[in-house]
Every structure is written in C-alpha cells, then in structure tokens.
Structure 1
Amino acid sequence: MSASDIYRHAPLGSKIRFSNGEPRPPDRFTRKVRAWEEENGTGTLVQWSPGFESGTWSSPPTFGLHIATYASYGVPVIVLRRIYSTTSQLQFEIIERPRFGMARILTAIGEGDELQHLAEDEAAAQSWLTRHRYHGARIDMVVDPEVANRPLLRGMAA
C-alpha cells in the first residue's frame, strides 16, 4: 500500500509495516543495517493530520507511527515516533487492525486525532483515563475496524 492509502484507510491503533523494498544487509555491515532499519520496520498508527493548501504554501497530509518507548526504571524517557507524509515513497502494509469492541482514547491535534491508548473495552478505557489525565480526551469505540476515511485537506468533509 502507498502512504496515501494508509492515511486514508488505516484506523488508529493499527500495526503498520513500512519498507523501502530492499533486502536486509548482512549483520557485519553495521552502518548499512542501521540505515536499512531507518526505512524498514513496524509501528502503531497513533496520529493523523490533514494537509493544507493556500495560495503560496501547501503541506501534504501526514500520519505518525509509534515505533518504540525507551524507559529507565519503568519511567518512559524517550518515545520514538516517525511522521510520514502521503508523498512518502516507502511501501506500507497493515499487519493488524484494532478489533471490534476495543476502545481508543483520542485527543485532538489541530483537525486530526492522536491515539493516547488502545484499551480492550470501554470499562478498561474509563479506568485508564482515571489514572492518566489528558485534557480533552475522548473515548472512541471501534465499531468497524475496516473504515477510516479521512479528509486529505483541512476543512474537507470525510
């Protein structure tokens, strides 16, 4: 799938694989392996933001993948996310979608959404929200894991 397809159709909370199509280099080439890992991996779709066009400036729609969280003594220290535009040349694949009945805890970012947590059900989401306070957070139940039509530009209807 293209980056545009992921933006338009992958629901928040989906596990996404991204790849440049190249084979992994042998382990003895450590720099090449590190470079390859930058363009090949998996992440969870956690945010999307529509593009913007004006007379002199434009930006494409973007989506963000949560790659990893690094912690020290149980406290998150670094959260690694990658933001991709719909013009990315990488290939993407949906590995797993959130299941029916799961609950997403979302916050608004501009005209897009950001996933804060994916819970097994509404009760677990309510419990998580009482422990982790997010201003403006809302619970979005997964009704149809296949549907996620998003506007490409700000102000457009979905």
Structure 2
Amino acid sequence: MSAQLIYDLVPLGAIIQFSDGTPRPPERHRKRLAAWEHRNSGGRLIQKQAERRVGNTVIAATITLHVGDYGGGGVVVLRVHRTFSVDSDLRFVVTERPRIGAVRVLSRPGNDAELLSLASSHADAEAWLQSHGYPDAVLDEVTTDAPAADVMEGRTAA
C-alpha cells in the first residue's frame, strides 16, 4: 500500500513495515546493507501531518513512524523517528493494528497530534500520563471504526 493510503486509512498506533522491494544484500556488504536497511524497516505510526503551505511552498502531507529508542539502564537517550511524504516511492504494509479497547495518549487534541503512548487500558494511560506530565495530552480509545486498511489489502479486519 502507498504512504497516501497509510495516511488516509491507518489509525495511529499501527505497526507499519516499509520496503523498496529490493532483495537484502549479504551481511559482508556492510555499506550496501546499511543503505538497504535505511529503506527497508518498520515502526509504529505516531503522527499524520496534513499538507501545509509555507509562503509560496506547499509541503506534502506526511506520516511519521517511531522506529526505535536507544539508551541503557531504563533511560532513553535517543528516540528515532522516520517521516515519509505521502508521495514516497516506498511500499508500506500494516503488520499490526492497535487492539480494540487500547487507549492512545496523544500530545494534543486535533488532527496533527502525535502518539505519545499506546496503553492497554484507560487506567494504564492515566498512570503513564501522571508519570510523564504532558499538560495538553488527550486520551483516545481505539474503536472498531477503522477496518478500511485491512479491506484495501484484501484481508479481513482483525
């Protein structure tokens, strides 16, 4: 599926894999492998940003994936996000949708909100919010209103 379909149909919190369709190079080709891994990976969908205009320039809509966290001893030192334009030539696949009943902690109300955490229950989301302190955060329960992406890929909604 395209990045545009991810933007249009897939809910925040879904796990997305992206690929350019090329085969993985052998381990011994470190530079080629690193370049391949840059275009063939995955992450959790944390933000959808609408098209916007800056002066005379139009910036296309984007999707952002949380690829990973790096650190040690329970301390995150570096959080890695990847942002893709809806015009991206990569192919995207939804590998996991947020569980119905899970609660998304969003950075603010509105369409450009960023997913901060995906909790299994409302109580867990409240506890996460108390310990992390985002003053404008909102809680959003995952419902059954978004099976369209699974139908687009020829699967039944889980």
1:24 aligns with 2:18: no
1:10 aligns with 2:10: yes
State the partner residue of 2:153. Answer: none
**TM-score, normalising length from structure 2?**
0.88
State the partner residue of 1:136. Answer: 136
Unaligned 5+ runs, structure 2: 150-158
Matches within 5 A, 1:50-129: 50-53=50-53, 56-108=56-108, 111-129=111-129
**TM-score, normalising length from structure 1?**
0.88
State the partner residue of 2:33. Answer: 33
Tell me which moved more, 4-13 or 137-146: 137-146
1:102-133 Cα distance to aligned partner (Å, 9 max, x none) = 00000138850100000001111111111110
Runs of 4+ in 1 over 4 A off after TM superposition: none
Unaligned 5+ runs, structure 1: 150-158
> Counterparts of 1:109 and 1:130 in 2: how far apart (Å)?
18
Number of equivalences: 149
> Counterparts of 1:48 and 1:12 in 2: how far apart (Å)?
8
What is the DSSP-based 3-state SS (H/G/I as helix, E as strand, rest coil) of the residue aligned with 1:26?
A: coil
Of Structure 1 and Structure 2, which has the larger fraction of its residues in helix? 2
Identity over aligned pairs, percent: 40
Relative contact order higher in (CA < 8 Å, ≥ 6 apart): 1
